Chain A
Amino acid sequence: MHRGKGMKFVTDSRVGISNRKQNIAKDFSEYPGRTEAFWPNFLLKEWMVGSVFLIGFIALTIVEAPPLQNIADPTNTSYIPLPDWYFLFLYQLLKYQFAAGDWILLGTVILPGVAFTALLIAPWLDQGLERRPAKRPVAISFMLLGILSIFYLTWESVQTTHWDQVHEQGILQVPGEGPEIDTAAPGYEIYAAQSCVNCHGQNLEGGAAAPGLVGTAYTAEEIADIAVNGIGTMPAGQWEGSDEDLQAMSEFIASYGEGGENNQ
């Protein structure tokens, strides 16, 4: 477009004198090496890479359903929180003595803040004109240190997480499916009066400390034995009641077990 005198006025619209840019691809023969045009030469290659990536990605979405846990229940006190995997390293950091308790600020504000600020102003921290990694050891070392600590913290977090517990507490109770727990049954009253309910939940759904009791493979006798003598991390001697109560409760839980009459 031309300004001022270059403009030819036709009625009230502005139409430039016909010197429109010709639609001709640029010639790259003078450029160094094998430089090529972005469109369509390079973009085609990029989109081929993109297609391969996309096939893998779509395959992932088909194979692996995105997880959905039970609806949020603020009163569930036995749930162990876990952030998404890319925040695990920050979560792990808070577990260390030097970043917890009185030093919590170090873990929540100072360390991440310093790291992020350093990343943000990296061009001014590393001002030399040299670009090769070998020629700027300080910047590269700090970055490697940062990456290593992120990997190490994530690894530690993965190691110290009880994944079977995380898996257990994450199982979705499909709405409308699964048995309705009869909380008026005598067996349930015993269940709730004993300490069972604290770990195994109001609806036998289990929690962080204990598995759910719906669909277990145990018989009533085995359940009675576990209630008295414990199993795995469940301590012995938690049962305080009569043998009749024990039998009633065991049968109640077994009725929600695998093939039990209340478990449809």
Chain B
Amino acid sequence: MAQNGSKVTRRQFLTYTLTGVGGFMAATLISPMVNFAIDPVLKKSDAGDKVKVISLDDITTEPQRVDFKKQTQDAWYEFEETLSAWVFKNESGEIVALSPICTHLGCQVAYGGDPTRPTEFFCPCHFGRYEKDGTNIPGTPPTSPLARYEKEEKDGFLYLGSPVAQL
């Protein structure tokens, strides 16, 4: 049925056009849905604001546990998350804020939690131990140091962000 000089038959032309129109309809339908589905990846990650935790004057070289509340946004829900940190000044005068979550199985560690080792963090679950600076003591269950909070010192107060895992 090919016309003189024409390489495309009428049937081929119709098939190509059909594919094109079908592709147009499919693309128009699917593209907003794909964007809809991958929205979590497109969204900029919101690290969350830092929260005012404790006055700088109250921070000593002795680690102390401070509890603070942080507004957390979970899609259409907003709730207050209660977090804790062990805060102290180390030898060089730098403020350290350690997360109390044991890196073994996530129990809560406490400074001096084992009375026989008053200068260590101690996890009562499986007797995991950490140095004062959060380094895990080899031979005890944890395999990595305690996480440290992102911190900022402003107007005489300590502000804490999210805990950052130490490797």
Contact = CB atoms under 8 A, between A and B. Distances in A.
> Taking the complex as a whole, does A directly touch B, i.e. does some CB pair lie under 8 Å apart?
yes
Interface string B80-91: 011000000000
B106 A78 contact: yes
Given A101-B143, A199-B124, A78 B81 contact: no
Interface residues of B, number: 17
A238 interface: yes
Interface in A64-84: 75, 77-80
Interface string A91-125: 00000000001000000000000000000000000
Interface stretch (B7-15, B17-25, B107-115, B146-154): B107-115
Interface string B111-142: 00111100000001111000000000000000
Contact of A195 (B82, B105, B113, B143): B113
A219 interface: no
Given A75-B82, A101-B143, A195-B110, A238 B124 contact: yes
A199 B82 contact: no
Contact of A77 (B106, B114, B143): B106
Contact of B108 (A101, A198, A237, A240): A198
A246 B137 CA distance: 32
B95 interface: no
B101 interface: yes
A199 B107 contact: yes
Main secondary structure of the interface of A (DSSP, over half): loop
Contact size range, A? 10 to 19
Nearest to B72: A74
B162 to A, nearest CB: 14
A166 interface: no
Contacts of B110: 195, 198
Interface string A217-253: 0000000000000000011011010000000000000
A145 B127 CA distance: 38
A208 interface: yes
A209 interface: yes
Given A75-B82, A101-B143, A240-B115, A80 B105 contact: yes
A78 B124 contact: no
- Pick the most buried of A77, A78, A208: most chain B CB atoms within 10 A of its CB: A77
Contacts of B127: 235
Given A198-B108, A237-B115, A209 B81 contact: no
Contacts of B105: 80, 208
B87 to A, nearest CB: 18
A195 B115 CA distance: 12
B73 to A, nearest CB: 14
Contact of A78 (B107, B113, B116): B107
Contacts of B115: 237-238, 240
A207 B126 CA distance: 13
Given A77-B108, A101-B143, A209 B124 contact: yes
Contact of B81 (A75, A195, A234): A75
Given A198-B113, A237-B116, A240-B115, 10 more contacts: A101-B143, A195-B113, A195-B124, A199-B107, A199-B108, A207-B107, A208-B125, A235-B127, A238-B113, A238-B124
Q: Please give me the 3 A-B residue pairs with the lowest Cβ-Cβ distance, nearest first.
A: A209-B125, A198-B108, A77-B106
